[in-house]
Amino acid sequence: MKTLVNSIFRFILSLLLLTGYSHAEANSRLTTKANSRPTATAGLLKTNSFRAERTKAIKTAMDIYQEMNLDAAGLNEKAFEYAYVGYERLRKRRLLHKTTVLSVCDFSQASSNERMYVIDLLNKKLLYRTYVAHGINSGKEYANSFSNRQNSYKSSLGFYITKQSYFGDNGLSLRIQGMDRGFNDMAGRRNIVIHGAPYVSTRILKKYGVMGTTFGCPAIPDDMSSRIIPVIKKGTCFFIYYPSQKYLAASSVLNR
């Protein structure tokens, strides 16, 4: 009889423990779910805010593009759209010290075209349009291969912020800081700068049929460096564009 009572007691105790565990587990799951709601809501709000800001920036970009008739100047519409979206993101992060100027190198064009554009956003004015060279290993007439690696001798896509100018082996030059992780953030170590070069000229183009190339620097004509560098130095947005889906989908400036 005593054995039977003990067995019944152990059975009841087991049921109580099991029931208690189930309630605790259920309460834990409810608490976890409740706590996750604010985080999920915050993430959704952040995503919606990002999309709204991007949509607004694209609309503004298209308005500026049309008002300035940049299509007639040969600037790719998508190049300017992405340039402006990235410029707005850097501006809102307070990373630009001079927000009135935006420079775009449109590498969807051949190097035989004047494919660098310096734009006064405040006055809606195209300040300069000139030639710009790409890296020797990025291609000949067209740049179509890019790298962030040292000694690759290739151009790097993405957004840069201009720094101080200096006088070096190529005369007046301008340091630039790559802002796109994995795409151009090695610019400083690679000594990628904007500088003038005698091999970026109509003379070279007529003589050889193609423009000169660099070790990765976006070099401009010698006679333009003294005019352009003072305008774009000290904290302006400088963008090198090419319709690379890999870059456009992973750019840390455009997508984060």
Q: Are 86 and 61 in contact (CB under 8 A)?
A: no
Q: Are 109 and 116 in contact (CB under 8 A)?
A: no
CA 253 from centre of chain: 4
Task: Look at the block and give the residue holding tokens 């051949």.
Answer: 110
Dist. CA 165–CA 15, nearest whole Å:
79
The per-residue pLDDT for 256 is 77
CA 196 from centre of chain: 24
- Identify the burial level of 28 via C-beta atoms within 10 angstroms of its C-beta, where 0-12 means exposed, 13-18 middle and 19 or more buried: exposed
Strands (E), 74-185: 101-106, 116-120, 125-130, 158-168, 171-178
Q: Are 234 and 164 in contact (CB under 8 A)?
A: yes
Task: Look at the block and give the residue holding tokens 């400083």.
Answer: 188
The per-residue pLDDT for 41 is 67
Residue 36 has pLDDT above 70, yes or no: no
**Which among 235, 249, 132 has a CA at the least distance from the CA of 182?**
249
The per-residue pLDDT for 38 is 63
**Which among 124, 148, 123, 125 has a CA at the least distance from the CA of 137?**
148
The per-residue pLDDT for 18 is 43
Dist. CA 243–CA 108, nearest whole Å:
7
Q: Indicate the pairing of strand 116-120 with strand 237-241.
A: unpaired
Specify the CATH number of the domain 76-255: 2.40.440.10
CA dihedral 200→202→203→206, nearest 10 degrees, is 120
**Which among 36, 184, 220, 2 has a CA at the least distance from the CA of 111?**
220
Task: Look at the block and give the residue holding tokens 């152990």.
Answer: 10
Residue 44 has pLDDT above 80, yes or no: no
> Taking every pair of C-alpha atoms in the chain, what is the biggest distance, in angstroms?
113
Q: Domain-by-domain residue ranges, the chain?
A: 1-67, 76-255
Q: Are 106 and 238 in contact (CB under 8 A)?
A: no
> Cβ of 191: how many Cβ atoms within 10 Å?
13
Residue 11 has pLDDT above 80, yes or no: no
The average pLDDT across 213-235 equals 98
Residue 90 has pLDDT above 80, yes or no: yes
Please give the mean pLDDT across all residues of the chain: 88
Residue 28 has pLDDT above 60, yes or no: no
Percent of the chain with pLDDT over 90: 79
**Which among 246, 242, 239 has a CA at the least distance from the CA of 107?**
242
Instruction: For 155-212, write each residue's pLDDT tens digit.
Output: 999 999 999 999 999 999 999 999 999 999 999 999 999 999 999 999 999 999 999 9
The average pLDDT across 112-135 equals 98
